[in-house]
């Protein structure tokens, strides 16, 4: 994705969440860092990929479980 200045930018992260405690932590981290994201509770896609836990954060088609997602957010 390229923004209007010609700079490469990442796609808006997708957060798969059911509002569980870990989901709330990850959402709070994203908001704290000012990272725009799209949230969905449609976990059928995750099930089709064999992912059976949530939350999952998807950035540029990279699926991250909770710990990896928190690490990604913290590096921003």
pLDDT tens track for 14-46: 999 988 999 999 999 999 999 999 999 988 988
pLDDT score, position 10: 61
pLDDT score, position 19: 86
Domains and CATH numbers, the chain: 14-74 (3.40.30.10)
Backbone angles phi, psi at 58, to 5 degrees: -115, 120
DSSP 67: H
pLDDT score, position 74: 95
pLDDT score, position 75: 93
pLDDT of residue 4 exceeding 70, the answer is: no
pLDDT band at 53 (very low <50, low <70, confident <90, very high): very high
Count the helix, strand and coil residues of the chain and give each as a percent rounded to the nearest 5. 35, 20, 45
């Amino acid at each position: 994705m390229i923004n209007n200045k010609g700079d490469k930018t990442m796609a808006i992260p997708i957060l798969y969440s059911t509002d569980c405690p870990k989901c709330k932590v990850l959402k709070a981290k994203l908001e704290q860092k000012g990272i725009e994201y799209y949230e969905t509770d449609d976990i059928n896609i995750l099930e089709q990929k064999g992912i059976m836990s949530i939350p999952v954060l998807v950035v540029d088609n990279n699926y991250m479980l909770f710990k990896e997602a928190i690490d990604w957010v913290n590096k921003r």
